[in-house]
């Protein structure tokens, strides 16, 4: 069972006077929530971090001049349908553009959903042929949409087909299913991921409240199968732009054997300006996180450069050059000279 815009009002999750607003947004962007995330919404909290991620708001209808339909330039790097080949050693493979939920800040919000659907067999075969024909492709990142919505039979066929390509050493699945629709992570789905090649799963979670018992159990089914699990989060104003919240999120992930991989600065997707803070604020949060938590809890804060120029780490930078060499800041914010001047303690 999933919920659309009208269902949110029927279920008492959104006040009836906001129905017009929900429908206006739904006319432009997909609206779907799973029962799992709908059940997490705290209707008493107007700033609820779960509602902020999944319940449409009128602010989504405001487009800033810098916002784009394809903010990270996927289209430009797509040689055949379903493939994005931006970096020499790895490609994205998007077998489907359907998601279990539609996140209000999504960078692919204008490509995904009913409009895009599933890659047909002929298109999928062309995508495999492209990977086979390019021996520099070392890794295939299966994303979408959400590949964990495909049937276990189709997932197994995909894993076996990719694994049979000699030069592909690593297969990576990006998915939000374990967090937002944990019952879908069945024993059959996990078995479908079995391969001799290295296979990683990267889950997506932004707030510690998303890590329910059911989500943790779903993730446990994946890690127990020997599949390393990493996570990505998006830095979202009003959801997790707070050092204590990020600390709780990353500690909770590490404690269930999930390594935080990326913290994404939100992309310039249309109608998402209300989620984006300044990069300097993100850097400050990362500094604070370094002070508070284990190195295992530190993701890399990244920006996907608009126009398809790829992802880069955006700091913070602890090191500055001056006339005498380097100045390096410690996690308490104190600067030290490197190398230390003769005869002094650093
Ligand atoms: C994000 C992305 C990848 C994966 O990048 P990593 O930094 O290796 O995680 C690969 N291809 C494209 C086109 C991407 O956008
Ligand atoms: S699950 Fe990922 S691709 Fe799907 S709507 Fe959310 S952010 Fe976008």
What pLDDT, in 10s, does the model give residues 126-167? 999 999 999 999 999 999 899 999 999 999 999 999 999 999
For residue 153, indicate whether it is catalytic.
no
* Mean pLDDT value across residues 71-90: 94
* Residue 94 annotated to the active site: no
pLDDT at residue 64, as a whole number: 96
pLDDT for the residue numbered 115: 58
Q: Active site includes 297?
A: no
- Is 103 annotated as catalytic? yes
Mean of per-residue pLDDT scores for the chain: 95
| SS3 state at 317 | coil
Let me know: does 296 contact 337? Beta carbons within 8 Å.
no
Domains of the chain: 1-62 (no CATH), 72-313 (3.20.20.70), 316-346 (no CATH)
Over residues 93-116, the mean pLDDT reads 90
The answer, yes or no, to whether any atom of ligand 1 lies below 6 A from the CB of 311, is yes
Residue 92 CA to ligand 1 centre (angstroms): 7
Q: What is the pLDDT of residue 333?
A: 87
pLDDT surpassing 90 at residue 290: yes
Question: What was the pLDDT predicted at 331?
Answer: 85
Asked if pLDDT for residue 110 goes beyond 60, the answer is: yes
Q: Which atom of ligand 2 is nearest to the CA of 105?
A: 7
Q: Is pLDDT of 265 > 60? A: yes
- Say yes or no to pLDDT of 116 above 60: no
Q: Whose CA is nearest to atom 6 of ligand 2?
A: 103
Least confident of 74-78, 98-102, 268-272: 74-78
Q: How far is the CA of 262 from the centre of ligand 2 (A)?
A: 15
**Measuring CA to CA, which residue among 256, 346, 255 is closest to residue 294?**
255
Could you tell me if the CB of 159 is within 6 A of ligand 1? no
**For 4-18, 199-213, 330-344, which range has the lowest pLDDT when averaged over its residues?**
330-344
> What is the average pLDDT across 10-26?
96
- Give yes or no for residue 181 CB within 6 A of ligand 2: no
Which pLDDT band holds residue 118 (cuts at 50, 70, 90)? confident
Residue 117 scores a pLDDT above 90: no
Confidence of residue 114 (pLDDT cuts 50, 70, 90): low
Average pLDDT value for residue range 200-211: 98
Q: Is 108 a catalytic residue?
A: yes
Q: What is the mean pLDDT of residues 50-62?
A: 97
- Is 311 marked active-site? yes
**Mean pLDDT (whole number) for 199-210:** 98
Nearest CA to ligand 1 atom 15: 310
Distance 180 CA to ligand 2 centre (A): 11
**Under 8 Å CB-to-CB from 143, ≥6 apart: which residues?**
92, 93, 94, 173, 174
Report pTM.
0.96
Cα(103) to centroid(ligand 2), Å: 5
Block residue for tokens 């487009």 = 63
Per-residue pLDDT band at 343 (split at 50, 70, 90): low
Active site residue 184: no
pLDDT-above-90 percentage for the chain: 92
Q: Is 60 exceeded by the pLDDT of residue 92? A: yes
Beta strands in the chain (DSSP E): 2-3, 33-34, 83-87, 90-93, 139-142, 170-175, 198-204, 229-234, 258-264, 300-305, 310-313, 319-322, 325-329, 335-338
Largest CA distance in the chain: 73
CA–centroid distance, 314 to ligand 1, in Å, is 15
Catalytic-residue membership of 176: no
| Sole residue written with tokens 């089914």 | 221
What's the 290 CA to ligand 1 centre distance in angstroms? 25
Q: For ligand 2, atom 3, which residue shows the shortest CA distance?
A: 145
Q: Which of 57, 126, 221, 311 is catalytic?
A: 311
Express each pLDDT in 228-238 by its tens digit. Answer: 999 999 999 99
Question: 48, 70, 94, 99: which one is catalytic?
Answer: 99
| Pocket flag, ligand 1, residue 90 (CB < 6 Å) | yes
Q: Of 24, 87, 241, 259, which is the active-site residue?
A: 87
Query: Cβ distance 99 to 176 under 8 Å?
Result: yes
Give yes or no for residue 54 CB within 6 A of ligand 2.
no
Q: How confident is the model at residue 113 (pLDDT cuts 50, 70, 90)?
A: confident
247 lines ligand 2 (CB under 6 A): no
Report residue 152 as tokens. Answer: 């276990």
- Per-residue model confidence (pLDDT) at position 112: 87
Which residue's CA is minimally distant from atom 5 of ligand 1?
311
């Amino acid at each position: 069972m999933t919920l659309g815009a009208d269902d949110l009002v029927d279920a008492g999750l959104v006040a009836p006077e906001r129905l017009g607003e929900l429908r206006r947004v739904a006319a432009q962007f997909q609206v779907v929530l799973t029962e799992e995330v709908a059940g997490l919404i705290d209707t008493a909290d107007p700033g609820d971090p779960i509602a902020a991620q999944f319940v449409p708001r009128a602010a989504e209808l405001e487009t800033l001049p810098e916002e784009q339909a394809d903010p990270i330039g996927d289209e430009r790097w797509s040689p055949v349908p379903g493939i994005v080949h931006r970096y020499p050693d790895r490609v994205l493979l998007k077998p489907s553009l359907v998601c279990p939920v539609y996140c209000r800040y999504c960078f692919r919000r204008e490509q995904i959903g009913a409009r895009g659907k599933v890659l047909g067999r002929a298109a999928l075969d062309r995508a495999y042929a492209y990977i086979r024909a390019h021996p520099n492709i070392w890794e295939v990142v299966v994303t979408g949409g959400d590949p964990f919505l495909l049937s276990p039979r189709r997932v197994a066929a995909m894993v076996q087909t990719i694994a049979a390509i000699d030069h592909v050493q690593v297969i990576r699945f990006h998915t939000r299913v374990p967090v937002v629709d944990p019952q879908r992570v069945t024993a059959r789905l996990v078995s479908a991921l079995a391969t001799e090649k290295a296979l990683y799963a990267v889950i997506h979670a932004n707030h510690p409240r998303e890590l329910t018992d059911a989500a943790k159990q779903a993730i446990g089914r994946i890690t127990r199968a020997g599949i390393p699990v990493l996570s990505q989060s998006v830095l979202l104003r009003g959801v997790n732009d707070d050092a204590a919240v990020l600390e709780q999120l990353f500690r909770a992930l590490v404690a269930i054997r999930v390594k935080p991989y990326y913290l994404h600065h939100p992309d310039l997707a249309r109608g998402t300006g209300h989620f984006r803070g300044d990069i300097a604020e993100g850097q400050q949060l990362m500094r604070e996180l370094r002070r508070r938590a284990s190195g295992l809890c530190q993701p890399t804060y990244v920006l996907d450069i608009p126009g398809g120029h790829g992802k880069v780490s955006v700091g913070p930078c602890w090191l500055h050059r001056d006339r005498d060499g380097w100045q390096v800041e410690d996690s308490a914010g104190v600067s030290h000279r490197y190398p230390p001047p003769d005869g002094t303690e650093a």
